[in-house]
Amino acid sequence: MDTTLQDPLLGHVLDGRYRIDARIAVGGMATVYRAVDTRLDRVLALKVMHPSLAADASFVDRFIREAKSVARLSHPNVVGVYDQGTDGAYVYLAMEYIAGCTLRDVLRDRGALRPRAALDILEPVLAALGAAHRAGFVHRDMKPENVLIGDDGRVKVADFGLVRAVDSVTNTTGSVLGTVSYLAPEQIEDGTATASVDVYACGVVLYEMLTGAKPHSGETPAQILYKHLNEDVPPPSALVPGLPFELDELVASATARTPAVRPHDAVALLGDVRNARSALSDAQLDAVPPQARDTEHAGADDRTSVIPRAVRTNAVQLPLPAPEDELNRTSRLATPPPAPPAPARRPGGRGPRRGVFLVVAAVLLALGVGAGVWYINSGQFTKVPALLTKTEAQAKQRLDEAGLQTGRITRAYSDAYKRGTVMATDPESGARIRDDGTVNLTVSKGPETVKVPDLKGTPLATAKSDLEGRGLAPGMITRSFSEEIPKGSVISTDPAAGATRKSGSAVALVVSKGTPVDVPDVTGDSEDDAVAELEEAGLKVEIATDRVNSEEDKGDVAEQSPSAGKLLAEGDTVTLTISKGPVMVEVPDVTGKKVDEAHAELEAAGFKVDEDRGLLGLFGDTVKDQSVEGGDEAPKGSSITITIR
C-alpha cells in the first residue's frame, strides 16, 4: 500500500511559497519532500519536522541550528540551505535538491565497492566534514544515508541537524544523539562530541563500502553498542581477502576506540586517505570485490536515535530481540542514576570495558517513559547565575560556565545601568532552569538622552573615553591649525557642547594640529644651514637616504618636501634631499661646423647653446670657437657659447 497517498502535505503550498510535489524520504525526526519554490521557480528539497516534535523547543532549536550551521559552511560538498521557517504546526528547512541517490542506495544495490570508488566517495565527504570541523562544527550523525550522490557524480553531505560546536563536550547525565552503527565509543559512554566522532563514523562507512557489511551486527541496538565499546572494528580484508594493507590501516586508524589515536579531524584523515591512495596501484584500486557476504542494511541500527549514556554496573544481561518497527523508531532514552562501581580488574585481564551498557539499555527499553520522568525530576536543572551589572561578555562567560546557552540579546535605555551592562535576564537570576537551557539578556544602552560635554582643550584619547562613558560615540575626526589649543587636543565638537542627543549618537571632533608654520625655502642652501633654519622655525628635519644629481652644488639641498610656502604644524617634518652635484658630460667639438649642425650636436649632448656673432659674424654661418673646448667636460644642462664668423 502506498502510504504517500495519505500524506496531507502532498500538493500543499507551505508558507504560501513552497509547493510540495513528492515525498523523498522519512526519517526519525523529519520528512523530506521534493518541492518547487513558486517565487523563484526552482526545484528544492523541503525538510519538514514531524508535527509531534515541533512542540519540543530543543528539536526546533536543532532544526534552526542546522540551517545556520550549513549556511555558514558554504562548501561545494555540503547540501546548501536556502531558507528556514514555520507554517502552523510545520517547521521546515528549504534545501538544495540533489537529483540522484544516497550512498545507502548504492550499497544496498551493489554491495561492496571497488577501492577506487570507495575512496572517490570518501574524499569529498571528508572535504565537507573538514570544512565543518575547521569552522567549529561536528556533524555527529555520519552514515551512508547522509551521503548524497548526484546524477552528475557530485558527492554531498546532508543532514547537519545534529551539528554541534566542535569543542563542546557533554559529560553530564543525559542523552546521546546518533545512529548506533556509526557511534564512536566516547559518544556512547559519555556523550563526547568532538571532531574525532565524525572520523570514527567515516572509518565505519569506509569499512562498509569496502565489504558491503557493517563491522558490528546485532539484533538490538544494545548489542551493537556493546560491540562498539568492547571490540575493535575488524580489518576489511578479513571479510574481503586481497584488500590492500593500506586500506586496513586506514580503517583501523579512523576507528580506533581511543580518540587520541585517530586522526584529529576530517582534514587529517583526508590527508591519510590521499597518502593511502597514492601507495596503491591501479590494479589494487580497481580490484572487483567478491559478492557482499552480508548486505542487510535495514534494521536496528540505521535510524538516528537518541540513546542513553553508559553507566557502570556489575551485571550484564542481553535484552530480548525487539520487533523491527520498535528497533527502527527514533527514540530518546534517558539515563538512570549511576550504579555501584564495578569490581577491580584482575592483573593482566581485560575484563568487560563497558558491559554495563546493555543492562541499562534493556531496562530503559522496558521502562520507557518512567525512566525519563525520573531523570527530568532529578538532575536536569540548574540555576541562572547572577548576571546583573555584568558586561555582555562577562554574562556570556558565566552562562557558558554554568552549562547554559546565551539566547536573544535585546538592548534598552537605562538611567540606572551603565551602557553595555546587563540590566535584566529571562529567566531571572536564581530561577530554576533546565540544563543546557537558554537565558535571554537585556543590555543597557545607557541613558536615553545625553548632553554633549565640553571637550575643548581635552586630549583626543581622553575625549573619546569621556564620550563613550556618557553613552555617546566618537564620530569623524578632522584636524585644523590652532594657535591657542595644543596639538592633539580638541578644538570643538559637532554638536556643540551642551547639546542634547540620544544615547549612542556620534559626536564629530575637530582636533588641533598646533600653531601653523610657514615652510621656509632652503633649496640651494648647505645641509647644515638648511637644518638650522628649519629647526629654528619649529620643524623637524629628515635627510633622505638617496642623493640626486642636480644643478645645485654637491652637498647643498637639491629638493625639499613639503615645498617652500606650505603650512605645517609645529613639530611636523620636512624631508631634504641632498645634491650629488650636476652630471658632467663630455662637450662635443663643433668648431668649423655650420651653426645649425653645432646647435643640434650640443643640444643632443644635453647642453644649452648661446651664440656670439659680434659685428663680423652677423652674416656668418660657421663656428670659429666654443666656450668649452671639445673633449672637455661640463655640467649637463649648462650653456655652451659658440662664436660665429
Give the residue numbers marked as catalytic: 141
- Is the peptide bond between 343 and the residue preceding it cis, with omega within 30 degrees of 0? no
Contact 315, 359 (CB under 8 A): yes
- Cα-based distances in Å from 78 to 44, 69, 136, 197, 471: 15, 11, 15, 18, 44
The three-class DSSP label of residue 78 is strand
Contact 204, 213 (CB under 8 A): no
**The pairing of beta strand 422-426 with beta strand 438-444:** antiparallel
Contact 589, 625 (CB under 8 A): no
Give the span between the Cα atoms of 325 and 263, in whole angstroms.
Answer: 36
- Cα-based distances in Å from 537 to 219, 314, 485, 528, 556: 95, 93, 19, 15, 19
Contact 50, 92 (CB under 8 A): no
Give the span between the Cα atoms of 239 and 261, in whole angstroms.
Answer: 24
Contact 247, 210 (CB under 8 A): yes
Give the span between the Cα atoms of 318 and 305, in whole angstroms.
Answer: 19
HEC string of 405-465? Answer: EEEEEEEECCCCCCCCEEEEEECCCCCEEECCCEEEEEEECCCCEEECCCCCCCEHHHHHH
Nearest by Cα to 612 from 601, 602, 627: 627
- Is the peptide bond between 115 and the residue preceding it cis, with omega within 30 degrees of 0? no
Number of C-beta neighbours around residue 426 at 10 A = 14
Paired residues of 424 in beta bridges? 442
The three-class DSSP label of residue 131 is helix
Number of C-beta neighbours around residue 180 at 10 A = 29
- Residue 413 one-letter amino acid: Y
Give the span between the Cα atoms of 147 and 105, in whole angstroms.
Answer: 10
Helices (H), 522-568: 527-536
